[in-house]
Amino acid sequence: MTSTNHSDFRVAILQLTVVAHKPTNVAIAVKRIQKAKINGCTLVILPECFNSPYDTALFRQYSEAIPGGETCKALSQAAKSNKVYIVGGSIPEICDEKIYNTCTVWDPDGNMIAKHRKVHLFDVNIPGSTCFKESSTISPGNSLNTFQLGKFKIGLGICYDIRFSEMAALYRKQSLLFS
């Protein structure tokens, strides 16, 4: 089913392999979007940082302007040519010299209909094991963001955002789905 006038539609939630070559990552995503469409999906959801390694040392190098950058152009075109909604996981965004971990959403005409900057950055320090500080290079977003898909209003969050129930509660208060 591809019509959004109905209460049920098919969603693709994609996991993608990320390599060092950014255009290859974008091409992999576009190919999987096409496959999701062939499988009858109306909404395609990509993973966090699908065009870049998840590495604080590399986010700036891989970052691009939104919506003018190469990844956004590819997502817009993929949404339009496949007539699907795309929740574009996230990419490193550069804006006023700051870097954000940002999700873009595209409608079936290729328009960007929402943008969400990750609010809760993932900082972890397990002595003797793992130390990762997303906040060392990424700036946090400060807003809740939604988009409309047919009769559904969907709230956006990126990865660690989901750990904070207050955010989901705020969306839920507005009777939203939390994606």
Ligand X SMILES: NC(=O)CCC(=O)C(=O)O
- 3-class DSSP state of 101: strand
Q: Considering the rule CB under 6 A, would residue 159 count as an interface residue with ligand X?
A: yes
At what angle are helices 70-82 and 22-38 packed, to 10 degrees?
A: 10
**Residue 23: CB minimum distance to ligand X, A:** 23
Span from 11-19, 85-93, 136-144, 159-167 in contact with ligand X (CB under 6 A)? 159-167
CB-nearer residue toward ligand X: 69 or 157: 157
Stretch that binds ligand X, among 37-45, 144-152, 158-166, 171-179 (CB under 6 A): 158-166
Active-site entry in 22, 41, 118, 134: 118
Q: Annotated catalytic, 48?
A: yes
Which phi and psi angles does 102 have, rounded to 5°?
Answer: -125, 135
CB crowding 66-83: b at 16 or more within 10 Å, else e = bbebebbebbbebbbebe
Among the candidate windows 34-42, 83-91, 107-115, 157-165, which touches ligand X by CB under 6 A?
A: 157-165
Sites for ligand X among residues 37-66 (CB under 6 A): 48
Give yes or no for a contact between 80 and 108, defined as CB atoms under 8 angstroms apart.
Answer: yes
- Catalytic residue at 151? no
Pick the closer one to ligand X by CB: 152 or 160.
160
Residues 95-154 that bind ligand X (CB under 6 A): 122
Number of chain residues interacting with ligand X (CB under 6 A): 5
Give the number of C-alpha atoms closer than 13 A to the C-alpha of residue 118, restricted to the C-beta side: 28
**Length of the chain in residues, anyone?**
179
**Is 49 in the active site?**
no
Contact 32, 16 (CB under 8 A): yes
